[in-house]
Amino acid sequence: MKFANTEVFNFEGAFRGMRNPLNSWNKSDSIFHYVKSVENAHSDINAESVDCCKLGENDLKLAQSLIRAGSEHRKFLRQIFVSVDITAPLFWWKEFDTYKVGTVANSTSTMHKLASTPITRDCFEMDDFSKLPLFDNSTVWEQLIFDLERLRKIYNETKDKRYWKELIRLLPESWLQKRTITMNYENIYAMIKSRKNHKLSEWSKSFIEWAESLPYAKELLFI
């Protein structure tokens, strides 16, 4: 599972609007400007863009009070936007798709492009793959990939849609799909709250590590 091209923006607008209810803009003590290509130590996270330089103590104190007060009070989190390319297995996307409100996605097309490139082990989620002591899953995978690639070749040679349909039918849920996602800090906050201890490492490890890399994650998302 990989995260790439992360962009975070509109901190300034979100924190300005956060102070609208009490007309307390004069108490804002944050400094905003645009920073390109922020370095991150995580190997699968790169090319970040951030529009926030430094959140002040006053602003953070108010922000955290609103976050603790509940979703109807922390509306400013919905105005901090995130765009990211996520490459994840289909079984992970099925769970991500429960978060429909406030998220938008454009995905690579399995329907149109599945038969265009060779099917190899790299096409599947194998990050934590290990041989099972009571089941030869390695051999199963070798046979599955062989059969899928054979179907793909036959379809390309014959253009017989029956082979393409069977290829779609047999495709496992570990198939990797890339989507460009736009969401906000409130979406991510909800995902962290419900998925941080999930038995899928794609949630409890990969997603959480990416979320921790976002600007002011500790103060706003993992409060």
Write the pLDDT tens digit of every residue in 52-106.
569 999 999 999 999 999 999 999 999 999 999 999 999 999 999 998 888 999 8
Q: Structural domain boundaries of the chain?
A: 2-107+175-220, 111-170
Q: H-helix or E-strand containing 6? A: strand 2-9
CATH number of the domain located at residue range(s) 2-107+175-220 in this protein: 3.30.1360.170
pLDDT of residue 122: 93
Q: What pLDDT shows up at residue 112?
A: 62
* 96 sits in which H/E element: helix 90-96
135: confidence class by pLDDT, cuts 50, 70, 90: confident
- Enter the pTM of the model: 0.85
Higher pLDDT, 157 or 132: 157
Rounded Cα gap, residues 12 and 18, in angstroms: 10
- Of 172, 116, 109, give the one whose Cα is nearest residue 145: 172
How many other CB atoms are found less than 10 A from the CB of residue 27?
13
Query: Who wins on pLDDT, 138 or 157?
Result: 157
pLDDT higher than threshold 50 for residue 37: no
**pLDDT over 90 percentage in the chain:** 75
Return d(Cα 125, Cα 141) in angstroms, integer: 12
